[in-house]
Amino acid sequence: MALAQDAVWFITGCSTGFGRSLAQAVLARGQRVVATAKDVARVANLDGASDRLLPLALDVTDLAQITAAVEAARERFGRIDVLVNNAGYGYQASIEEGEEAEIRAQFDANVFGLFALTRSVLPMMRAQGGGHVVNITSVAGLVGFPGSGYYAASKHAVEGWSDSLAAEGAPLGIRVTCIEPGPFRTDWAGRSLRQTPVGIEAYQATAGQRLESTRSVSGRQAGDPERAAAAIVALADEADPPRHMVLGAWGIDQVTDRLRRRLHEIEARREAAVATDFPD
């Protein structure tokens, strides 16, 4: 069943990229949007100060701001039908050279902030009898690449957590979807990306090459954020939305290849695996 015409979307990270494109797409179809960004000025003019837009300052690592933003959404619109956890960024380094402060900051934004915001919204969805949590993860949430170990770990964490949330939320009418984009023409590989240069020669051919190639394709990626936004809006209208949606041809190829190889590897050792159980 399609979302109601007056449905309310709460979208994080709307200053650029997926978040901004999605907020504009939702407003264009006449629905209501709580659009958040660290700098509220970046989202204040999304729809010409429409009465269907509530722009809010939100750093998802700030628990006080999370509480205030969810309460402001409740006061203005009375409900949240779709929560889109989009805020986050990439960090690249070899595993050995990963910096503690960068790793923790990555998890604060990509994982713990997402967890905290969702926990704040769930009571509203539970009380209203349903809702849809959409988590923007990544192909890296399903496939680990050299140079992206800590970013991949943050997205894998959200994927596993989303499985549990889906199981707990289903009886309450709360659905969960992870969107797993491949390379898209956003600021992810440009302004937003953090990197620790690879200094150890042994990792130059793996992590080092990955860091260089990521920067070099910035602004030339195949993925179109506006088409991605349209796909997400269409998905939210489905009566039974999928648990996963990979975006982009490159992402589809990477994920399906990895899953086929993983399934083959597991099945090839079925006999040895089953033999570890106590005998009947």
What pLDDT is stored for residue 192 in this prediction? 79
Model confidence pLDDT, tens digit, residues 111-122: 999 999 999 999
Predicted local distance difference test score (pLDDT) of residue 1: 53
Kindly report, residue by residue over 224-269, the tens digit of the pLDDT.
899 999 999 999 999 999 999 999 999 999 999 999 999 999 999 9
Domains of the chain are 8-252 (3.40.50.720)
Q: What is the mean pLDDT of the chain?
A: 94
Inter-axis angle of helices 17-28 and 225-236, nearest 10: 50
pTM of the model: 0.94
Which residue out of 89, 91, 150, 151 is catalytically annotated? 151
Angle at 106 (CA atoms; ends 183, 212), nearest 5 degrees: 45
pLDDT band at 47 (very low <50, low <70, confident <90, very high): confident
Is 151 marked active-site?
Answer: yes
C-beta of residue 227 within 8 angstroms of C-beta of residue 249? no
280 pLDDT tier (thresholds 50, 70, 90): confident
pLDDT exceeds 90 at position 98: yes
pLDDT tens profile 191-229:
778 999 999 999 999 999 999 998 887 777 878 899 999
Which among 191, 261, 177, 254 has a CA at the least distance from the CA of 222? 254
